[in-house]
């Protein structure tokens, strides 16, 4: 784990720059260190407060990288600012660029059938020479099917990938990685949410100007109000109380 891990609210954050994070990830790949990377945002901080298993998963991550302007603002409010916000979706794109240059291979796990392959094709087009070791879209309910999990682990192990990008949503993606990474033996595994859909063009990310000022959540709410209303308007209100609880 990085040296600059600091206590933040109800969890920990690795207070590193993007360059430092990538360097650490490369070191893990080169030395075959098995590890998990999560980029906590407001949703995850709220979940950690009541989900002890998710809290344990975060505590045992190889890297916890701050994702979200509210967390950056909170750190400044505490007088202990973070070096840099590291968005999970942006990190994936940068790592694929690094992988194409350094010869690392990647595997995409998640999204609907055909979507991961489309994302892989887009990544290879944007990064000539990128090695995609494989893609797989697990069937619904796979997490309750030991035989399917065994099958996925074998597919991943056989791929001999250097990095695994898992897009299944929180906490399913995080639990799968935590419980299986030693079995499928890929050095670095990343929880990436809807990133596979973004790369495939199945979902649109917020415009850069909205992301820059911390309003990506509002864009996602407008695009999918039925699904996002509870998360952003109901659940995430709890975050404000947590700010003062952990000050």
Flag whether pLDDT at 229 surpasses 60. Answer: no
Helix ranges (DSSP H) in the chain: 18-30, 42-50, 52-59, 69-77, 88-102, 115-126, 146-159, 172-184, 195-200, 208-212, 216-223, 225-229, 238-245
Fold classification of 5-200 is Rossmann fold (3.40.50)
**pLDDT tens-digit series, residues 82-136:** 999 999 999 999 999 999 999 999 999 999 999 999 999 999 999 999 999 999 9
Per domain, the residue ranges of the chain are: 5-200, 208-245
pTM above 0.85, yes or no: yes
Using 50, 70 and 90 to split pLDDT, how confident is the model at 228?
low
- pLDDT at residue 237, as a whole number: 83
What gap in Å lies between CA 117 and CA 127, rounded to an integer? 15
pLDDT of residue 180 exceeding 70, the answer is yes
Q: How much of the chain, in percent, has pLDDT values that exceed 70? A: 90
pLDDT tens, 43-87? 999 999 999 999 999 999 999 999 989 999 999 999 999 999 999
Q: Which 3 state secondary structure label does DSSP give 180?
A: helix
If you search the block for the tokens 């969890």, which residue do you land on? 11
Percentage with pLDDT > 90 across the chain = 81
Res 222 pLDDT > 90 = no
Across residues 230-240, what is the average pLDDT? 73
Q: Answer yes or no: is pLDDT of 172 > 70.
A: yes
Q: Please report the pLDDT score of residue 167 as a whole number.
A: 96
Which 3 state secondary structure label does DSSP give 135? strand
CA distances from 160 to 30, 109, 154, 166 (A): 13, 14, 10, 16
Contacts for 72-75 with beta carbons within 8 Å, 24 or more apart?
73/214, 74/9, 74/243, 75/8, 75/13
Q: How far apart are CA 56 and CA 152, in angstroms?
A: 24
3-state secondary structure of 164: strand
């Amino acid at each position: 784990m990085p040296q600059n891990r600091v206590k933040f609210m109800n969890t920990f954050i690795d207070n590193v720059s993007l360059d430092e994070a990538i360097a650490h990830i490369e070191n893990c790949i080169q030395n075959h260190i098995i590890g998990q990377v999560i980029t906590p945002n407001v949703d995850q901080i709220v979940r950690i407060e009541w989900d002890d298993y998710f809290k344990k998963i975060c505590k045992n991550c190889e890297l916890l990288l701050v994702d979200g302007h509210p967390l950056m603002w909170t750190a400044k409010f505490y007088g202990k600012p973070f070096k840099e916000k590291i968005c999970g979706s942006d990190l994936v794109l940068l790592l694929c660029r690094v992988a194409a240059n350094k010869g690392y291979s990647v595997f995409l796990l998640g999204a609907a059938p055909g979507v991961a392959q489309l994302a892989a094709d887009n990544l290879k087009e944007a990064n000539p020479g990128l090695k995609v070791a494989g893609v797989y879209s697990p069937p619904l309910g796979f997490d309750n099917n030991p035989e399917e999990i065994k099958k996925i682990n074998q597919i991943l192990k056989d791929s001999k990938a250097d990095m695994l990008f898992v897009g299944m949503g929180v906490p399913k993606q995080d639990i799968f990685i935590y419980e299986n990474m030693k079995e499928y033996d890929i050095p670095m595994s990343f929880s990436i949410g809807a990133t596979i859909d973004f790369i495939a063009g199945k979902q649109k990310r917020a415009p850069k100007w909205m992301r820059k000022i911390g309003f990506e959540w509002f864009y996602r709410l407008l695009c999918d109000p039925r699904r996002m209303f509870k998360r952003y308007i109901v659940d995430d209100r709890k975050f404000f109380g947590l700010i003062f609880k952990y000050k």
